[in-house]
Amino acid sequence: MFSCPFFNGFRSGPLRLATVVLSAALFVIGLAGCGPTPPLKIGFIGGLSGKFSDLGTANRNGALLAVEAANDAGGIGGRKLLLIEQDDQQNNAQALLAMDELKRQAVVAVVGPSTSSIAVAITPMATENRLLLIAPTAITSKLSGKDDYFLRSVGDAAFYGRTTAQFHYSRQGLRTVALALDMANADYTESWGEHYGAEFTRLGGKVVRMERFKSTDNPDHAAIAKSLLVDKPQLILTVASSVDCALIAQRASVLSPGVRMAGSAWASTERLIELGGAAVEGMLVEQYFDRFDPAPKFQSFLQAYRNRFKAEPGFGAVLAFDAANMLIAGLKQSQRPDELKSAILALGKFDGVQGPVLLDAMGDASRAVHFGVVRNGAFAKID
């Protein structure tokens, strides 16, 4: 039966005309106030189309899974959450338009973007409008240590580049490496490659060649591979998406069978293996999560993701799930967009799907790195 405090308090009987009119007006207003509570809108921005869409789609799915789990648990103070998606198409101008649309839709905050170059492009706008971004996979060092409206659920490129260099030099015994950097996401690749190269050199290794290309300009992958092999490096390291990493590996394996290859975390999605085939067998990969974690919490997440999306999650989904849950934790403290940043930073520590995610005073996160290898057509753990 319909129930409303205003309706229950209404009394019939002889009333003067003015009282009837006033009561009727108040009754209508009271009914409007008794309607369903509108949802809290959360924005999502990422590359949902084009060659980088494997990462953007994984980010979207991870965020959506977190939102749906929160709704199943009752929402925030009884209010459901609604994810509003925008495709930035890995284009700065389109990303700014997408941010305008999310602002028009009155979202309380945004999960995303997926890539560093888009993050650098839209963070000034987000800061100006006090619209919080929580990026799952944008690791550029250009946004580290800044008091802005950009937070993230992953560490920065300086840490990951250095750590990967240490792994290659000390644990794999490599001494010469040729790097390929995709300038379509230069704010990531340059940040990562710079710190990798500096650390590899400091340890005693040598970066014999650095080849820059732009994946959005239909590059000649055969020519890139040929250039990388000129100095006969022990390792070709591609800092690019899964698509370009796979294509360069295919060309290089033909020109120099048996040359060792590696990819940064951006490349380490299931699409790398699908596209690369035998050419990526033995490839070393950096990863932001432990694919083989036996812990019940991760296994529960893994099963929920597989059931919902009929796919493997990959690092993009894991990090976006954590990013969305960071936002949800903040919303439990305050639902005002201008207070969310301080609420999240005040919490500082979040229960991620694989252990705690720690934020410093500037919103930069700490997250471990893991290393794997492609073996028998699948990702395998390096002990």
Per-residue pLDDT tens digits of the chain, which is 383 residues long: 333 443 344 344 444 444 444 444 444 444 444 557 899 999 999 999 988 899 999 999 999 999 999 999 999 999 999 999 999 999 999 999 999 999 999 999 999 999 999 999 999 999 999 999 999 999 999 999 999 999 999 999 999 999 999 999 999 999 999 999 999 999 999 999 999 999 999 999 999 999 999 999 999 999 999 999 999 999 999 999 999 999 999 999 999 999 999 999 999 999 999 999 999 999 999 999 999 999 999 999 999 999 999 999 999 999 999 999 999 999 999 999 999 999 999 999 999 999 899 999 999 998 999 999 999 999 999 97
Residues 279 and 309 in one domain: no
Residues 250 and 348 in one domain: no
Domain boundary among 287, 316, 333: 287
Residues 125 and 206 in one domain: no
Residues 261 and 207 in one domain: yes
Residue type, 340: L
DSSP assignments along 40-74, one per residue: EEEEEEE--SSTTHHHHHHHHHHHHHHHHHHHHTT
Residue 381 lies in a domain: no
Residues 56 and 145 in one domain: yes
Residue 10 lies in a domain: yes
Residues 305 and 320 in one domain: yes
DSSP assignments along 130-177, one per residue: T--EEESS---GGGTT--SSEEESS--HHHHHHHHHHIIIIIS---EE
Residue 380 lies in a domain: no
Residues 77 and 170 in one domain: no
Residue 382 lies in a domain: no
**CATH number of the domain that 259 lies in?**
3.40.50.2300
Residue 375 lies in a domain: no
pTM above 0.85, yes or no: yes
Domain count, the chain: 3
Residues 18 and 87 in one domain: no
Domain carrying residue 172: 158-287
Residues 26 and 59 in one domain: no
Residues 171 and 273 in one domain: yes
Whole-number mean pLDDT of the chain?
A: 91
Residues 175 and 269 in one domain: yes
Residues 345 and 253 in one domain: no
Give which of 156, 142, 154, 115 is closest to 323, Cα–Cα. Answer: 154
